[in-house]
Amino acid sequence: MRVLHFFKEYAPDSVGGTQSVIRDIAYATAPLGIETTVLSLSRDPERNSVVIEAHRAEKARLDFEVASAGFSASVFPAFARLAMRADLVHYHFPWPTMDLVHFLTRHRRPSVVTYHSDIVRQRLLGTVYRPLMHAFLGSVDAIVATSPHYLASSPVLPRYRTRTSVIPLGARDTAGIAVPDAAIAAWRARLGERFFLFVGALRYYKGLPHLLDAAAATGYPVAIVGTGVEAAALADSVRRRRLANVHLLGALGDADKLALLRAAYGFVFPSNLRSEAFGVALLEAAAEGLPLISCEIGTGTSYVNVDGETGFVLPPDDAAALAAAMTRLWQDPALATRLGRGARSRYLALFTAEAMGTAYAQLYRRLVPVPPNSA
């Protein structure tokens, strides 16, 4: 079966939670007979077709962006061409351009939408976009929510309850990947024998100002990995406040990130708005057996991290509570170990890439019951 994934951004141009999910769906469904192509936009699409692992990433030129929603004139014919070769189209919501492409190309293929997030911040755009959004969601064959928490809390999804199912996001198990002891030791020599770790895009909803407050209150070493629009403001705050215990590491490759996860004492993920719909970075930390600290924002973060079982779930925007949770872990290594084991066990039970891939392959085959076409 041939599946076309469609999202505004993808490797090698960009990395992020949704991009890693698409990559892992492709990885996990390949052994199940699913051939994946991903279409996305690029500012420099000269290499308009590249192979990533066992699937192909196709590009159309990004013409402009409005409120983070990229638009491309060339994506319409590119999508139409690729959809004709596919047996099913898999959309990743939200992206208004995607809705227009869906309607204007009239591709007539079964379609799945993974509903990654409500539109949270762009209220004016959301008001204008709402009629198109509901027309789009009402026209697809199946909608997937990424957690029961998000399905329950979304103001949009209840309208489509009969066609919506839950497939939790998954991530590959890194436990079997060897990391040199010297790499782990080097990070600990630089950051401290024990330190807390954050990994993610540096965006407005990540709650990082509260993490800086907690770091200032506790003095514990904190490593922050990632880049994004808030990077300059974050660096300026660290500099002004002379937070020598906060280390801004920028973007790191997979090998360095894995070594950091192995070296870390605990994982802190203080996202404070429901723009954080799931938190794939929590899965990566859970796979490595780290105790988790996150906030209750009514989304998938509290499906991954269960208070008292895998870590602590705190009120959002509460630096004092964040500092207290970090202190509790710091002062009780046995508790940190127990919660880390709980995180690993919950990951293995619910959030592996293989479980996600199997569930999507079953959904695909339910929607494409006849033998795949050869167009």
Q: What's the pLDDT score for residue 374?
A: 46
User: CA angle, 174 as apex, 169 and 179 as ends, to 5°?
Assistant: 155
Say yes or no: 199 and 314 in one domain.
Answer: yes
Banded pLDDT at 15 (limits 50, 70, 90): confident
Say yes or no: 62 and 44 in one domain.
Answer: yes
Q: What's the pLDDT score for residue 16?
A: 81
Say yes or no: 346 and 357 in one domain.
Answer: no
Q: What's the pLDDT score for residue 125?
A: 65
- Give me the domain span that covers residue 327: 181-350
The number of distinct structural domains making up the chain is 2
Q: What's the pLDDT score for residue 17?
A: 86
Say yes or no: 212 and 345 in one domain.
Answer: yes
Say yes or no: 115 and 43 in one domain.
Answer: yes
Domain membership flag for residue 197: yes
Work out the average pLDDT over 343-367.
98
pLDDT one-digit tens code per residue, 336-349:
999 999 999 999 99
Domain membership flag for residue 372: no
Q: What percent of the chain has a predicted confidence (pLDDT) above 90?
A: 89
Three-state SS annotation for the chain: CEEEEECCCCCCCCCCHHHHHHHHHHHHHHHHCCEEEEEEEECCCCCCEEEECCEEEEEEECCEEECCEEECCCHHHHHHHHHHHCCEEEEEECCHHHHHHHHHHCCCCCEEEEECCCCCCCHHHHHHHHHHHHHHHHHCCEEEECCHHHHHHCCCHHHHHHHEEECCCCECCCCCCCCCHHHHHHHHHHHCCCCEEEECCCCHHHCHHHHHHHHHHHCCCEEEECCCCCHHHHHHHHHHHCCCCEEEEECCCHHHHHHHHHHCCEEEECCCCCCCCCCHHHHHHHHCCCCEEEECCCCCHHHHCCECCCEEEECCCCHHHHHHHHHHHHHCHHHHHHHHHHHHHHHHHHCEHHHHHHHHHHHHHHHCCCCCCCC
Say yes or no: 195 and 317 in one domain.
Answer: yes
Banded pLDDT at 14 (limits 50, 70, 90): confident
Distance CA 40, CA 34 (A): 19
Work out the average pLDDT over 126-143.
92
Banded pLDDT at 123 (limits 50, 70, 90): low
Work out the average pLDDT over 224-245.
97
Domain membership flag for residue 373: no
Say yes or no: 189 and 337 in one domain.
Answer: yes
Other Cβ atoms within 10 Å of 125 Cβ, number: 16
CA 125 centroid distance within chain? 23
Other Cβ atoms within 10 Å of 148 Cβ, number: 12
pLDDT value at 163 more than 80 = yes
Domain membership flag for residue 375: no
Work out the average pLDDT over 73-101.
97
Say yes or no: 68 and 217 in one domain.
Answer: no
Say yes or no: 116 and 64 in one domain.
Answer: yes
Are the C-beta atoms of 293 and 335 separated by less than 8 Å? no
Say yes or no: 65 and 163 in one domain.
Answer: yes
pLDDT one-digit tens code per residue, 268-317:
999 999 999 999 999 999 999 999 999 999 999 999 999 999 999 999 99
Banded pLDDT at 95 (limits 50, 70, 90): very high
Q: What's the pLDDT score for residue 358?
A: 98
Residues near 355 by beta carbon (within 8 Å), at least 6 away in sequence: 168, 170
pLDDT value at 232 more than 50 = yes
pLDDT value at 204 more than 80 = yes
Say yes or no: 227 and 299 in one domain.
Answer: yes
Q: What's the pLDDT score for residue 375?
A: 45
Residue type, 354: E
Domain holding 162: CATH number? 3.40.50.2000
Q: What percent of the chain has a predicted confidence (pLDDT) above 70?
A: 96
Domain membership flag for residue 291: yes
> Phi/psi zone of residue 60: left (φ > 0), alpha (ψ -120 to 50 degrees), beta?
beta
The average confidence (pLDDT) of the chain is: 94
Flag the least confident range among 41-50, 195-204, 317-326. 41-50
Domain membership flag for residue 135: yes
Domain membership flag for residue 50: yes
Residue type, 48: N
Say yes or no: 221 and 321 in one domain.
Answer: yes
Q: What's the pLDDT score for residue 150?
A: 95
Q: What's the pLDDT score for residue 122?
A: 63
